Amino acid sequence: MPEPPLGARADQGGGRGPAAAAGARHLFRQIAHGETEQGKSIAAAMVPAIQALDDDRARLYFDLMYNSLNEAARRALEAMMKGYEYQSDFAKRYVAQGRTEGRTEGLTEGLTEGLTEGLRKGRTEEAARALLTVLRVRGLAVSDTARERILTQKDPERLERWLEKAAVASSVAAVFDELN
């Protein structure tokens, strides 16, 4: 493959033009000095050089740069980028991709949590109805207070214990007696 012209941009020659050379120089300085006080300023100078690179090289350089920073420099770089409107198509594309992934992940997590909560609530409501049914079929009078206690109970395991007791209890009070 012939070498690109000397002034070629990274996206015109496989990332081997002046932008790539500048990015590589900044990257090596960053790796060597990322943990020092200079890390923050080198990273700030490196960001524009990274943006001029082809996508694959830019992802690699940014990842290497970011991981070479000390914690204070990472926070400073993140603060610099907060609220910043990205100019390059590269950055805009990956910010959009990140947002899409975040929305998808959030939606999936929300649906999972909602389903789990709904199933738990359904299980609890069904256990309360089953308990009231067993008490009714056994002929045990359930006061309004006891009915309210059963219907507001949120712990399905406790409702299950009460249901087991209701099958053999001689009174509603015996169902609620936790000592038996």
Confidence of residue 10 (pLDDT cuts 50, 70, 90): very low
Average pLDDT over residues 153-176: 94
Mapped onto helix, strand or coil, the DSSP state of residue 173 is helix
Output 71 or 50, whichever has higher pLDDT.
71
Residue 69 confidence (pLDDT): 81
- The ranges assigned to domains in the chain are 10-84, 93-176
End-to-end CA distance of the chain: 85
Percent of the chain with pLDDT over 70: 77
Mapped onto helix, strand or coil, the DSSP state of residue 171 is coil
Confidence of residue 22 (pLDDT cuts 50, 70, 90): low
Output 99 or 73, whichever has higher pLDDT.
99
3-state helix/strand/coil string of 70-129: CHHHHHHHHHHHCCCCCCCHHHHHHHHHHHHHHHHHHHHHHHHHHHHHHHHHHHHHHHHH
Structure tokens at 156: 């399905």
Average pLDDT over residues 44-56: 77
User: 161-165: long-range contacts at Cβ-Cβ below 8 A with a sequence spacing of 24 or more?
Assistant: 162/131, 163/127, 163/130, 163/131, 163/134
Residue 97 confidence (pLDDT): 87
Confidence of residue 29 (pLDDT cuts 50, 70, 90): low
Structure tokens at 151: 């219907």
Phi-psi region of 159 (alpha: psi -120 to 50; beta: other; left: phi over 0): alpha
Residue 78 confidence (pLDDT): 77
Whole-angstrom distance, CA of residue 76 vs CA of residue 78: 5
Phi, psi of 167 (to 5 degrees): -65, -25
Mapped onto helix, strand or coil, the DSSP state of residue 170 is coil
DSSP assignment string, 4-64: PPTT--GGGTTT-SHHHHHHHHHHHHHHHHTTSTTHHHHHHHHHHHHHTS-HHHHHHHHHH
